[in-house]
Amino acid sequence: MLSARAARLKESATLKVFGAAKRMIAEGIDVINLSMGEPDYNTPEHIKEAAIQAIKANHTHYTVNRGILPLREAVAKRLKEDFNADYTPEQILVSSGAKQSLFNTIMALVDEGDEVLLPYPAWPTHPEAIGLAGGKVVALRTREKDDFKINARQLAAAITPKTKMILFSNPINPTGMVYSEDELTALVDVLKKHNIFILADEIYARMCYDGFKFRSLATFPEIKERVILVQGVSKAYAMTGWRIGFSCGPQAVIKAADKIQGHSTSNASSIAQYAALAAVSGPQDSLDEMLATYTKRRKYIMERFSAMPDISFAVPRGAFYLFPNVSAYFNEQYPDSTALAMYLLEKAHVAVVPGVGFGQEGYLRLSYAASMEQLAAACDRIEKALKELKG
Binding-site ranges for ligand PLP (CB under 6 A) = 37, 97-99, 123, 169, 173, 201, 203, 232, 234, 240, 245
CB of 98 to ligand PLP, least distance (A): 3
Q: What whole-number distance in Å separates Cα of residue 359 and Cα of residue 344?
A: 20
d(CA 217, CA 208): 16
Compare residues 53 and 240 and give the one whose CB is closer to ligand PLP. 240
Which C-beta is closer to ligand PLP: that of 37 or that of 127? 37
Cβ-based neighbours of 254, under 8 Å, separated by 6 or more? 90, 91, 92, 93, 228, 247, 248
Residue whose CB is less far from ligand PLP, 203 or 272: 203
Quote the CA–CA distance of 264 and 246 in Å, as a whole number. 16
Q: Which residues contact 349 (CB under 8 A, 6 or more apart)?
A: 24, 29, 30, 31, 32, 381
Cβ nearer to ligand PLP, comparing 108 with 369: 369
In the complex, least distance from residue 307 CB atom to ligand PLP, rounded to whole angstroms: 28
| Least distance to ligand PLP, CB of residue 331, Å | 31
Rounded to a whole number of angstroms, the minimum distance from the CB of residue 123 to ligand PLP is 4
> DSSP code of 334?
S
Q: Name the residue with the smallest CB distance to ligand PLP.
A: 97
For β-strands 115-119 and 163-169, DSSP reports them as parallel
The least distance separating ligand PLP from the CB of residue 97, rounded to whole angstroms, comes to 3
**CA angle, corner 10, sides to 203 and 6, nearest 5?**
105
Helix-strand-coil split of the chain, %, nearest 5 = 45, 15, 40
Q: Between residues 91 and 173, which has the closer beta carbon with respect to ligand PLP?
A: 173
β 245-248/92-95 pair status: antiparallel
Nearer to ligand PLP (CB atom), residue 98 or residue 158: 98
- C-beta closer to ligand PLP: residue 108 or 348: 108
Q: Which is nearer to ligand PLP, 171 or 379 (CB)?
A: 171
Shortest distance in whole angstroms from residue 52 CB to ligand PLP: 22
C-alpha 24 chain-centroid distance: 27
Residue 86: phi and psi, rounded to 5, are: -100, 115
Q: How far is the CB of 216 from ligand PLP (least distance, A)?
A: 15
Compute the distance between CA of residue 216 and CA of residue 213 in angstroms, rounded to an integer: 10
String of DSSP letters for 259-293? HHHHTTT-S--HHHHHHHHHHHHS--HHHHHHHHH
| In the complex, minimum distance from the CB of residue 126 to ligand PLP, in angstroms, rounded to a whole number | 7
